[in-house]
Amino acid sequence: MFPKNAWYVACMPDEIDEKPLGRTICNEKIAFYRGDGGQVAAVEDFCPHRGAALSLGSVCEGKLVCGYHGLVMGCDGKTVAMPGQRVGGFPKIRAYPVAEKYGFVWVWPGDAGLADVARLPKLDWAESPDWAYGGGLYHIQCDYRLMVDNLMDLTHETYVHTTSIGQKEIDETPVTTRTEGDHVITSRFMDNVMPPPFWKANLRGNNLADDVPVDRWQVCHFEPPSHVMIEVGVAHAGKGGYDADPKDKVSSIVVDFLTPESETSMWYFWGMARNFNPRDKALTAQIRDGQAKVFAEDMEVLEAQQRNLLRYPERRLLMLNIDAGGVQSRRIIDGLIAAERPQQLAA
Say yes or no: 250 and 113 in one domain: no
User: Residue 177 sits in which domain range?
Assistant: 125-339
* CA gap 53, 22 in Å, rounded: 8
What's the 3-state SS for 149-206?
Answer: HHHHCHHHHHHHCCCCCCCHHHHHCCCEEEEECCEEEEEEEEEEECCCHHHHHHHHHC
What number of CA atoms fall less than 13 Å from residue 135's CA on the CB side? Answer: 23
- 208 in any annotated domain: yes
The residue type found at 120 is L
Domain boundary among 85, 119, 153: 119
Residues 272, 134 contacting (CB under 8 angstroms): yes
Beta strands 98-101 and 227-236, pairing class: unpaired
Partner residues linked to 9 by β-bridges: 106
Partner residues linked to 260 by β-bridges: 266
Q: 116, 117, 134: which is closest to 125 by C-alpha?
A: 134
For Cα atoms 169, 172, 174, give the angle at the middle one, nearest 5 degrees. 115
C-alpha distances in angstroms, 298 versus 34, 39, 99, 198, 235? 33, 35, 29, 16, 26
Residues 25, 261 contacting (CB under 8 angstroms): yes
Say yes or no: 159 and 223 in one domain: yes
- 345 in any annotated domain: no
Say yes or no: 99 and 173 in one domain: no
**pLDDT at residue 321, as a whole number:** 79
Q: CATH number, domain at 257?
A: 3.90.380.10
- 164 in any annotated domain: yes
Q: How many helices (H) and strands (E) does the chain have?
A: 6, 17
Domain boundary among 67, 98, 119: 119
Q: What is the pLDDT of residues 218-240, one digit of tens each?
A: 999 999 999 999 999 999 999 99
Say yes or no: 93 and 138 in one domain: no
Residues 3, 25 contacting (CB under 8 angstroms): no
Q: What is the pLDDT of residues 40-81, one digit of tens each?
A: 999 999 999 989 999 999 999 899 999 999 999 999 999 988
- The pLDDT tens digits along the chain (347 residues) read 899 999 999 999 999 998 999 999 999 999 999 998 899 999 999 999 989 999 999 999 899 999 999 999 999 999 988 887 887 788 899 999 999 999 999 999 999 999 999 999 999 999 999 999 999 999 999 999 999 999 998 887 776 777 778 888 788 888 999 999 999 999 999 999 999 999 999 999 999 999 999 999 999 999 999 999 999 999 999 999 999 999 999 999 999 999 999 999 999 999 999 999 999 999 999 999 989 998 999 999 999 999 999 999 999 888 877 889 999 999 999 999 999 987 554 45
The three-state secondary structure class of 42 is strand
Say yes or no: 272 and 241 in one domain: yes
Say yes or no: 78 and 139 in one domain: no
Say yes or no: 265 and 329 in one domain: yes
Domain boundary among 93, 119, 145: 119
- What total number of domains does the chain contain? 2
- 3 in any annotated domain: no
Say yes or no: 151 and 86 in one domain: no
Q: Please state, as a whole number, how many other Cβ atoms lie within 10 Å of the Cβ of residue 241.
A: 21
Say yes or no: 168 and 232 in one domain: yes
- 344 in any annotated domain: no
Say yes or no: 273 and 130 in one domain: yes
Q: CATH number, domain at 70?
A: 2.102.10.10
- 2 in any annotated domain: no
What's the 3-state SS for 233-283?
Answer: EEEECCCCHHHCCHHHEEEEEEEEEEEEEECCEEEEEEEEEECCCCCCHHH
pTM of the entire predicted model? 0.93
Say yes or no: 129 and 51 in one domain: no
241: left (phi over 0), alpha (psi -120 to 50) or beta: left
- 224 in any annotated domain: yes
Say yes or no: 203 and 86 in one domain: no
- 346 in any annotated domain: no
